[in-house]
Amino acid sequence: MTDGQGPREALLAAALDALRNLSVESLLASIGVREIARRDEVPMEVLGEVRGRSIIVGDLVEVALDTARERWRRALERRLGG
């Protein structure tokens, strides 16, 4: 736990680092997302992917992963009342 991170933040950071190395298709396949969506008749579309240090959605969006992670963390804290 560095940079003042608590255990939850450190775990999230480690998980995000691990996910960076997976392709979108291999990630979806590994957790069965497409099969679950198909079974429950829920439409599903991949909007973008994480590559290197950025989240990229086609030619529309490219956000630094650190920026997205911080914004997500703050939004989650607000929603959970923390």
What's the chain's length in residues? 82
Q: What pLDDT shows up at residue 79?
A: 84
Domain coverage including residue 42: 7-80
Measured over the CA atoms of residue 23, residue 26, residue 30 and residue 31, the dihedral's sign is positive
Residue 1 lies in a domain: no
Q: How far is CA 22 from the centre of its chain?
A: 11
Domain count, the chain: 1
Residue 62 lies in a domain: yes
Give the whole-angstrom CA distance, residue 46 versus residue 24.
8
Residue 2 lies in a domain: no
* pLDDT (tens place) for every residue of the chain, 82 residues total: 456 667 777 777 777 776 666 676 776 776 787 888 889 998 988 777 666 788 888 888 888 888 988 888 888 888 888 6
